[in-house]
Amino acid sequence: MMRPLSFPLLCDRGFTLLEVMVVLIIIAVAAALVVPNVRSLGQQREIEVELRQLGLAVKTARSRAITVSLPHTLVMDPEENMYRVEAPLMEDEEDSALKEVANESARGAEKDEGVWEIIMERTFPEFLRFADMERLDTAWRRGCSEAEEDIDDDGLWRIRFWPDGTGEDVVVELSTEEGETFEWRVYGLLGRAEILEKD
């Protein structure tokens, strides 16, 4: 009678310490590659949300300027990393003399801080910052000299919208903590904003 051959089963053997360590190192390297990408996707999503909110501020300023027949201004504060929409505070909107003062004030004359109200205000997250602003087509800006600078004396950047639906065209450069920069173009006449491709 023949005796059956017995072979040691592979499942009885287990794993050596070296095999376990190699597998753990491979998992750690894979996780290290995936986590930054997931974080940057989350940050990219936050940037998109913030830019949508900034675009909403442009639309709000333009549409309110048309609706209430008073100039509105989108004010960006690079030092505080925030922006707001301002409008003249009028007790009687039918008073044309007050409207004229407000229109002149929005066109570059000194404004009295006490007569402007904040319509909306928002602060950027720490990883997103205002870097630079350039006005495009300064020649048609009503009531402003061609030599007027992009940044006002108080360090704030202003984009003005008038009751006839016109506004200033500007390009705002934004930057992230990682050093990525991109340009955000505001079309004042259309009340629209978009991200431009960087060269």
pLDDT of residue 83: 93
What pLDDT, in 10s, does the model give residues 33-63?
Answer: 877 666 567 777 888 888 888 888 988 998 9
Judge whether 82 and 53 are in contact, CB under 8 Å. Answer: no
User: What span, in angstroms and rounded, lies between the C-alpha atoms of 81 and 89?
Assistant: 25
The fold adopted by the segment(s) 17-196 is minor pseudopilin epsh fold (3.55.40)
Q: Pick the closest to residue 76 from 64, 65, 61 (CA basis).
A: 61
Comparing 9-13, 122-126, 164-168, 177-181, the range with the smallest average pLDDT is: 9-13
Judge whether 90 and 99 are in contact, CB under 8 Å. Answer: yes
Residue percentage of the chain with pLDDT more than 90:
16
**Average pLDDT, stretch 2-29?**
78
Take residue 178 and report the two structure tokens written for it. Answer: 């990682």
57: left (phi over 0), alpha (psi -120 to 50) or beta: alpha
pLDDT of residue 48: 83
pLDDT of residue 40: 67
| Residue 110, pLDDT above cutoff 50 | no
What pTM was estimated for this model as a whole? 0.65
What pLDDT, in 10s, does the model give residues 128-149?
Answer: 898 888 887 644 444 454 444 4
Residue percentage of the chain with pLDDT more than 70:
68
**Average pLDDT, stretch 170-176?**
89
